[in-house]
Amino acid sequence: MRSPGHSRPPVAGATGSLVFTTVLTGGPLSRADVAVRTGLSAAAVTKAMKPLADAGYLVEVEETAEDQGARRVGRPATPVRVHAERCYFAGVKVTGDELIGVVTDLQATVCAVRHRPLRSGAVEDVVTELAALVSELLGESDSYRASFGGLGVSVGGDVDPESGMVRYSPFLGWRQVPFVALVAAATGLPVRLENDVRALTVAEQWFGSGVGAGSFAVVTVGTGIGCGLFVNERVVSGAHGVAGEIGHLPVDKDGPLCHCGNRGCVEAIAGNSAILAQISETTGAEVADLASAIELARNDPAARRVFAVAGHAIGMALAAVANFLGPERIVISGEGLAAYDLFSEQIRTTFAEHAFGAAGDCDLIIRPLSFDDWARGAAAVAIQRFIAPHTS
């Protein structure tokens, strides 16, 4: 499979990346603003922007007559923004039974989505399907291939972005799989691999609620309960590939048995399947999926009680995160949040009770999440790689 020449990142060095990301994450900004935000001199900003503008990554915003209201004296600023369509990226999240793929532009706006069921979890099959999916996605518009920046792939489990290895993925049953090499060979594209939750954290860092925060955490509520951490200017990876593992935080030592062997883990109480099991058990009703469980809870107090208990468990987890890291914000997201109105109050109450001192000051931000957002996270990893290769 031959592929056209991919766009080379035009980023000169650290300063170029810094300026680029500042504009990317900070919306349209004048050069003077960028200078202030980055701490660079105005001259340095001008010089750093030159090649980026020449290559078409940055463009000056057309002045729309009466710009920002309070215009002061002096030469008016010329805001610069990212030319989002200059370059496209693909992101694929690999789950145990499905591939989710997206194409995004430079600002991580999703341009195309495709899902593809996985019949087999064998490495070769996954690679083949993945290559086919990406090929389909990039086939949707000529622009995608013509100016392609990179492919990001995210997998749950212990993953090493540097070596491109999936060290261990429980869902797929993989160990020591050189996934990047395989996917790169099959697609001919530049590939970057990352853990799924960390990929989501990267997306949040640059394109979501993490923008401007010195530290934040992303807590995902779904089948499992996960957590991505951003501290000291970087996403936390963990020395052994594990980090942000809050799903097995013990909440109730007499609680339900968790698959990890202990009792009363957050995940065993507030994970989607745990909720379903509890509701079935408590009410005797047959609930097949979360949607019907939510439906039921709207009328059945016993079912509602299950959600409250789950909310309590989540609140405990959030408080633990806040106490531990003291992040500026915690973003709570995940498919499980469809039932947010059922959780909400209990989450906040428990959080407030257990957050210690000033740790309780951290913002709790709710952000429902679609499955596609996981793939978008993978694309965000590719974008980050493209713009700031040294960072990750």
> Do the strands 148-155 and 88-94 form a parallel or antiparallel pair, or are they unpaired?
parallel
Cβ nearer to DNA, comparing 71 with 298: 71
Cβ 110 to its own copies, closest distance in Å? 29
2 binds, among its own copies, DNA, none (CB under 5 to 8 A by kind): none
Inter-residue contact 6 to 190 (CB < 8 Å) = yes
Give the residues lining the site for its own copies (CB under 8 A): 158, 168, 213-215, 227, 229, 231-234, 236-253, 260-262, 316, 320-328, 353-354, 356-359, 361-362
Shortest Cβ 12–DNA spacing (Å)? 5
Distance CA 256, CA 29 (A): 52
372 binding partner (options DNA, its own copies, none; Cβ < 5 to 8 Å by kind): none
Q: Nearer to DNA by C-beta: 52 or 246? A: 52
Burial class (CB in 10 A: 0-12, 13-18, 19+), 101: buried
**Closer residue to its own copies, CB minimum distance, 137 or 321:** 321
Q: Please report how close the Cβ of residue 8 comes to DNA at its closest, in angstroms.
A: 15
Q: Is the CB of 81 or the CB of 145 nearer to DNA? A: 81
Rg of the chain over Cα atoms, rounded to whole angstroms, equals 22
Least Cβ distance, residue 75 to DNA (angstroms): 3
Nearest distance in Å: CB 45, DNA: 7
Chain-centre distance for alpha carbon 283: 36
- Among residues 57 and 343, whose Cβ is nearest to DNA? 57
CA angle (285 as vertex; 284, 290 as ends), nearest 5: 125
For the bound state, the minimum distance from the C-beta of residue 259 to its own copies, rounded and expressed in Å, comes to 11
The entry of DNA, its own copies, none near residue 261 (CB within 5 to 8 angstroms by kind) is its own copies
Complex with DNA: residue 29 or 166, whichever CB lies closer: 29
Residues pairing with 367 in the sheet: 333
> Using CB distances below 5 to 8 A depending on partner kind, what does residue 250 bind out of its own copies, DNA, none?
its own copies
39 binds, among its own copies, DNA, none (CB under 5 to 8 A by kind): DNA
Other C-beta atoms closer than 10 Å to the C-beta of 360 total: 15
Q: Are 37 and 19 in contact (CB under 8 A)?
A: no
Judge whether 171 and 133 are in contact, CB under 8 Å. no
- Among DNA, its own copies, none, what does residue 249 contact (CB within 5–8 Å per kind)? its own copies
- Torsion sign across C-alpha atoms 268, 269, 270, 272: positive
Output 49 or 202, the one with its CB closest to DNA: 49
Output 27 or 238, the one with its CB closest to its own copies: 238
Q: Which does 236 bind (CB under 5 to 8 A by kind): DNA, its own copies, none?
A: its own copies
Q: Which residues bind DNA (CB under 7 A)?
A: 12-15, 30-33, 39-44, 46-49, 63, 71-79
**81 neighbors 99 (Cβ within 8 angstroms):** no
- Whether the CB-CB separation of 387 and 351 falls below 8 Å is answered with no
Q: Among its own copies, DNA, none, what does residue 240 contact (CB within 5–8 Å per kind)?
A: its own copies
Cα–Cα dist 2/53, whole Å = 29
* Of residues 46 and 109, the one with the C-beta less far from DNA: 46
Owner of token pair 């935080």: 249
Check the CA dihedral 269-274-275-278 and report its sign. negative
Phi/psi of residue 189, each to 5°? -110, 160
To the nearest whole angstrom, how small is the minimum distance from the Cβ of residue 308 to its own copies?
16
Q: How many residues does the chain have?
A: 392
Q: Which partner, DNA, its own copies, none, binds residue 97 by CB below 5 to 8 Å per kind?
A: none
Tell me the sheet residues that pair with 160.
165
Please report how close the Cβ of residue 76 comes to DNA at its closest, in angstroms. 5
**Measuring CA to CA, which residue among 386, 330, 335, 337 is closest to residue 108?**
386
* Cα atoms found within 13 Å of the Cα of residue 354, Cβ hemisphere only: 20
Minimum distance from residue 65 beta carbon to DNA (Å): 11
